[in-house]
Amino acid sequence: MSDFEIKPYPELWGALGMDVERFDKMRLMMGDMFAKSYLGQPNRPAGMAYFDNMIAEIHGGRIKELLAAKAEGRPVIGTFCVYIPEEIVLAAGGICVGLCGGSQGSVPDAEKTLPRNICPMVKSAFGFKAGRICPYFQAVDFVYGETTCDAKKKCWEILDKMVPTYVMEIPQCKRPRDIALWNEEIRDFKAKVEEVAGRAITEADLAGAIKVMNAKRRALQRLNGLRHHNPSPISGKDGLLIEQIAFYDEPLRFTEKVKDLCDELEERVKARVAVPATGATRVMVAGTPMALPNWKIHNLVEGAGAVIVNEESCIGTRYFKDLVDEGVTGMEAMLAALTDRYKEIDCSCFTPNDERITQVIKEFRDSRAQGIISYSLQFCHTYNIEEVRIRQACEAEGIPYMFIESDYSPEDMGQLQTRIEAFLEQIGG
């Protein structure tokens, strides 16, 4: 039996106006889930200790850092999408946190207000605020939403009654006039962040923040590249955990820890040390993000003896594959460089979105996977429909493929396990 514990901070939670008793039960459940999913893995890299500790301190240690920043007048901003340029928040001395939306526990809170038949990520996130069961939601100065999918953009209007929620208009196409609008939206975002920070962002601030974020993304690219070795020196579950922690950890510290881990993984590659059994079937996942603590697909696939070697997702490569051009100077040029970088993200909310189809096939080849699991959260229309094109491209390329549409409830676990095992048997031989 593991002695792992997510640490309790009831006084801190009380001061944040949370439902302390209920949250404490959720803390115990998440700790138990984490211990069962993660700590029994054989032969984990020593460098995972830092990330395990980030989970142990998720409801206290990092929250204290956010509150300390706020006390210094530095803005703390919650986001739900990788289209929000973190560089601008960092440039103002602020902190950007990706808010959680990966738990079934908060869904009933949302269903008291929102329709049931919408995306579980939207419901989970909304429920965390409605039920006062997320310290991050309680700590942020405001939330920055976006007009990506219908579920999110309509939800912001209701969320705004509970926490100030500003919305960035993300266009649906990528024509020159759409890009011009986007650039305007990035300027508005900068103005909002400056207003809350009480100071203007200088060119030096923004140049520094671009470097910090590029370094973080390079570290994640390096980690992803190491996962592509066969045998993979780290499990897919651990890869996913690091990607999830990337959304709330302090970027400089996080980058150093990822780099340290990569040094260790390089040694393991040379020595052919792997967490998954040598010869484990290699799978790539493509599709909707997996917000903390959504480990459902990884638990099922790796529980069946296979290994996930790549996430083509906003929790994965869509977050870190593109860098901002560091070679430009002047505020205008840097804001244009930010627009350029962010428009490369190939979310299914765009039309047309041919880049994503090409990218999925490229990542399949790069990762030396043997098959693709396309994953869509229930009721996510854009990913669900784009699945048709991903499937067609895989058929054309002869790539083994399966599609999973799921939510956060455990109800479909048995059925998914059977389907996944059949898929692995088909591609593993």
Q: Is 347 in the site for ligand BJ8 (CB under 6 A)?
A: yes
**Nearest-approach distance from CB 293 to ligand BJ8, in angstroms:** 16
Instruction: Choose between 119 and 275: whose C-beta lies nearer to ligand BJ8.
Output: 119
- List CB contacts of 3: < 8 A, sequence separation 6 or more: none
133 near ligand BJ8, rule: CB under 6 A: no
Pairing mode of beta strands 95-98, 165-168: unpaired
Of the two residues 235 and 382, which places its CB atom closer to ligand BJ8 in the complex?
A: 382
Rounded to 10°, the helix 236-245/296-303 angle is: 160
Stretch that binds ligand BJ8, among 42-50, 303-311, 342-350, 353-361 (CB under 6 A): 342-350
CB neighbourhood size of 283 (10 A)? 29
**Between 148 and 235, CB nearer to ligand BJ8:** 148
| Nearest approach, Cβ of residue 187 and ligand BJ8 (Å) | 20
3-state secondary structure 163-209: CCEEEECCCCCCCHHHHHHHHHHHHHHHHHHHHHHCCCCCHHHHHHH
Contact stretch for ligand BJ8 (CB under 6 A) within 115-123, 187-195, 240-248, 251-259: 115-123
Question: How far apart, in whole angstroms, are the C-alpha atoms of residue 210 and residue 201?
Answer: 13
Rounded distance, CA 219 to CA 74, Å? 26
Residue 377 within binding range of ligand BJ8, rule CB under 6 A: yes
Closest to ligand BJ8 by CB, 148 vs 339, is 148
Least CB distance to ligand BJ8 at residue 125 (A): 8
Residue 128 or 383: which CB sits closer to ligand BJ8?
383
Q: Binding ligand BJ8 by CB under 6 A: which of 119, 219, 234, 275?
A: 119
Residue 108 structure tokens: 């009933």
Closest to ligand BJ8 by CB, 37 or 384:
384
Out of 48, 66, 69, 81, which residue is the one contacting ligand BJ8 (CB under 6 A)?
81
Q: Please say which residue, 18 or 168, places its beta carbon nearer to ligand BJ8.
A: 168
**Four-residue CA torsion sign, 217, 102, 282, 249:** positive
Contact segment (CB under 6 A) with ligand BJ8 among 79-87, 88-96, 176-184, 365-373 equals 79-87
User: Minimum CB separation from ligand BJ8 for residue 96, in Å?
Assistant: 13
Considering CB under 6 A, how many residues would be counted as binding ligand BJ8? 20
Q: Which of 286, 273, 284 has its CA nearest to residue 230?
A: 273
Contacts of residue 175, defined as CB under 8 A and 6 or more positions apart, other chains included, come to: none
Smallest distance, Å, CB 69 to ligand BJ8?
24
Binding string, residues 382-421; x marks residues near ligand BJ8 by CB under 6 A? xx--------------------------------------
Give the contacts of 242 (CB within 8 A, at least 6 positions apart). 51, 220, 223, 258, 261
List helix spans (H) across 343-374: 354-366
Q: How far apart are CA 65 and CA 7, in angstroms?
A: 15
Least separation in angstroms between residue 316's CB and ligand BJ8 is 10
* C-beta of 35 vs 213, nearer to ligand BJ8: 213
Instruction: List the interface residues with ligand BJ8, window 257-316 (CB under 6 A).
Output: 288-289, 314
Contact code string over 139-178 relative to ligand BJ8, x by CB under 6 A: ---------xx-xx--------------------------
Residue 227 main-chain phi, psi, to 5 deg? -65, -20
* Residue of 69, 68, 66 whose CA lies nearest to 58: 66
Q: Which amino acid is present at 231?
A: P
Residue 428 contacts by C-beta under 8 Å, 6 or more apart in sequence? Answer: 281, 306, 370
Shortest Å distance, C-beta 136 to ligand BJ8: 16
Residues that bind ligand BJ8 (CB under 6 A): 81-83, 119, 121-122, 148-149, 151-152, 288-289, 314, 345, 347, 349, 377, 380, 382-383
